[in-house]
Amino acid sequence: MNIALISHDQKKDEMVRFAAAYEPVLSQHRLYSTGTTGERVMKETDLHIHRFQSGPLGGDQQIGSMIAENNMDLILFFKDPLTAQPHEPDISALLRLCDVYKIPLATNIATAEVLIKGLDRGDLAWRDLVKDKEGKLHE
Protein backbone atom coordinates (compact mmCIF):
# COMPACT_ATOMS: atom_id res chain seq x y z
CA MET A 1 0.00 0.00 0.00
CA ASN A 2 1.00 3.62 -0.55
CA ILE A 3 1.00 5.57 2.70
CA ALA A 4 1.57 9.31 3.18
CA LEU A 5 3.08 10.73 6.36
CA ILE A 6 2.44 14.43 6.92
CA SER A 7 2.77 16.54 10.05
CA HIS A 8 2.65 20.16 11.01
CA ASP A 9 5.71 21.63 12.73
CA GLN A 10 4.36 21.19 16.27
CA LYS A 11 3.53 17.52 15.52
CA LYS A 12 6.77 16.41 13.83
CA ASP A 13 8.26 14.91 17.01
CA GLU A 14 5.04 12.97 17.52
CA MET A 15 5.18 11.65 13.93
CA VAL A 16 8.80 10.57 14.38
CA ARG A 17 7.92 8.68 17.57
CA PHE A 18 4.89 7.10 15.88
CA ALA A 19 6.92 5.99 12.84
CA ALA A 20 9.62 4.53 15.06
CA ALA A 21 7.05 2.64 17.14
CA TYR A 22 5.35 1.20 14.06
CA GLU A 23 8.44 0.84 11.88
CA PRO A 24 7.91 -2.93 11.39
CA VAL A 25 4.44 -2.29 9.94
CA LEU A 26 5.36 0.80 7.91
CA SER A 27 8.44 -0.89 6.41
CA GLN A 28 6.17 -3.30 4.54
CA HIS A 29 4.63 -0.47 2.50
CA ARG A 30 5.61 2.34 0.11
CA LEU A 31 5.95 5.54 2.09
CA TYR A 32 5.57 9.11 0.88
CA SER A 33 5.88 12.31 2.84
CA THR A 34 6.11 16.04 2.72
CA GLY A 35 9.72 17.23 2.86
CA THR A 36 10.69 17.95 6.44
CA THR A 37 8.49 15.25 7.96
CA GLY A 38 10.06 12.63 5.71
CA GLU A 39 13.56 13.87 6.45
CA ARG A 40 12.98 13.74 10.20
CA VAL A 41 11.44 10.25 10.08
CA MET A 42 14.26 8.86 7.93
CA LYS A 43 16.89 10.27 10.33
CA GLU A 44 15.31 8.43 13.27
CA THR A 45 14.34 5.15 11.56
CA ASP A 46 15.49 2.80 8.81
CA LEU A 47 12.40 3.62 6.75
CA HIS A 48 12.80 4.70 3.13
CA ILE A 49 10.42 7.54 2.24
CA HIS A 50 9.80 9.27 -1.07
CA ARG A 51 9.86 12.93 -0.09
CA PHE A 52 7.87 15.62 -1.83
CA GLN A 53 8.19 19.38 -1.26
CA SER A 54 7.33 20.71 2.18
CA GLY A 55 3.60 21.25 2.66
CA PRO A 56 3.57 25.04 2.23
CA LEU A 57 5.71 24.73 -0.90
CA GLY A 58 3.37 22.29 -2.65
CA GLY A 59 3.94 18.95 -0.93
CA ASP A 60 0.31 18.69 0.18
CA GLN A 61 -0.75 19.24 -3.43
CA GLN A 62 1.70 16.63 -4.70
CA ILE A 63 0.20 14.07 -2.35
CA GLY A 64 -3.27 15.31 -3.35
CA SER A 65 -2.36 14.55 -6.97
CA MET A 66 -1.57 10.96 -6.01
CA ILE A 67 -4.94 10.73 -4.26
CA ALA A 68 -6.75 12.10 -7.31
CA GLU A 69 -5.07 9.45 -9.46
CA ASN A 70 -6.07 6.80 -6.88
CA ASN A 71 -2.42 6.05 -6.13
CA MET A 72 -2.58 6.67 -2.37
CA ASP A 73 -4.13 4.22 0.10
CA LEU A 74 -3.72 5.78 3.53
CA ILE A 75 -2.95 9.25 4.88
CA LEU A 76 -1.49 9.86 8.34
CA PHE A 77 -1.62 13.63 8.77
CA PHE A 78 -0.81 14.86 12.27
CA LYS A 79 -2.43 18.30 12.21
CA ASP A 80 -1.81 21.04 14.72
CA PRO A 81 -5.31 22.37 15.50
CA LEU A 82 -3.98 25.19 17.68
CA THR A 83 -1.78 26.94 15.13
CA ALA A 84 -3.00 28.79 12.04
CA GLN A 85 -1.47 27.39 8.86
CA PRO A 86 -0.70 29.74 5.96
CA HIS A 87 -1.47 26.97 3.47
CA GLU A 88 -4.85 26.05 5.00
CA PRO A 89 -6.60 25.94 1.57
CA ASP A 90 -4.14 23.23 0.46
CA ILE A 91 -4.81 21.26 3.63
CA SER A 92 -8.58 21.54 3.17
CA ALA A 93 -8.24 20.38 -0.44
CA LEU A 94 -6.19 17.36 0.64
CA LEU A 95 -8.78 16.38 3.25
CA ARG A 96 -11.59 16.82 0.72
CA LEU A 97 -9.80 14.56 -1.76
CA CYS A 98 -9.55 11.86 0.91
CA ASP A 99 -13.32 12.00 1.28
CA VAL A 100 -13.96 12.04 -2.48
CA TYR A 101 -11.69 9.04 -3.15
CA LYS A 102 -12.50 7.15 0.05
CA ILE A 103 -8.96 7.25 1.41
CA PRO A 104 -8.59 6.37 5.11
CA LEU A 105 -7.29 9.46 6.91
CA ALA A 106 -5.99 10.02 10.42
CA THR A 107 -5.46 13.59 11.58
CA ASN A 108 -4.16 12.69 15.04
CA ILE A 109 -2.06 10.00 16.67
CA ALA A 110 -5.02 8.23 18.28
CA THR A 111 -6.76 7.58 14.96
CA ALA A 112 -3.44 6.80 13.28
CA GLU A 113 -2.83 4.03 15.79
CA VAL A 114 -6.24 2.48 15.06
CA LEU A 115 -5.56 2.62 11.30
CA ILE A 116 -2.02 1.24 11.55
CA LYS A 117 -3.19 -1.69 13.68
CA GLY A 118 -5.97 -2.32 11.17
CA LEU A 119 -3.43 -2.16 8.37
CA ASP A 120 -1.29 -4.73 10.17
CA ARG A 121 -4.32 -7.06 10.53
CA GLY A 122 -5.23 -6.69 6.85
CA ASP A 123 -8.35 -4.62 7.48
CA LEU A 124 -7.42 -2.18 4.70
CA ALA A 125 -6.99 -4.83 2.00
CA TRP A 126 -10.28 -3.59 0.52
CA ARG A 127 -8.27 -0.75 -1.03
CA ASP A 128 -6.76 -3.29 -3.43
CA LEU A 129 -10.21 -4.59 -4.33
CA VAL A 130 -11.65 -1.22 -5.36
CA LYS A 131 -8.92 -0.44 -7.87
CA ASP A 132 -9.08 -1.68 -11.43
CA LYS A 133 -6.22 -1.89 -13.92
CA GLU A 134 -6.04 1.88 -14.37
CA GLY A 135 -6.06 2.50 -10.64
CA LYS A 136 -9.56 4.01 -10.68
CA LEU A 137 -12.23 3.36 -8.09
CA HIS A 138 -15.20 1.20 -8.98
CA GLU A 139 -18.37 3.12 -8.19
pLDDT tens by residue, the chain, 139 residues? 999 999 999 999 999 999 999 999 999 999 999 999 999 999 999 999 999 998 888 889 999 999 999 899 999 999 998 887 777 888 899 999 999 999 999 999 999 999 999 999 999 988 887 765 455 544 4
Flag whether 107 is in a domain. yes
Q: Would the pTM count as exceeding 0.85? A: yes
Flag whether 133 is in a domain. no
Flag whether 37 is in a domain. yes
Flag whether 24 is in a domain. yes
Flag whether 19 is in a domain. yes
Q: Which residues are catalytic?
A: 60
pLDDT of residue 132: 55
Give the C-alpha separation, 27 to 13, whole Å. 19
Residue 106 domain boundaries? 2-127
The number of domains in the chain is 1
Give the C-alpha separation, 21 to 64, whole Å. 26
pLDDT of residue 133: 47
Flag whether 120 is in a domain. yes
Measured CA distances, 80 to 12, 43, 47, 125 (Å): 10, 22, 24, 29
Flag whether 73 is in a domain. yes
Helices 12-21/109-121 angle, 10° precision: 20
Flag whether 134 is in a domain. no
pLDDT of residue 139: 44
CATH classification at residue 47: 3.40.50.1380
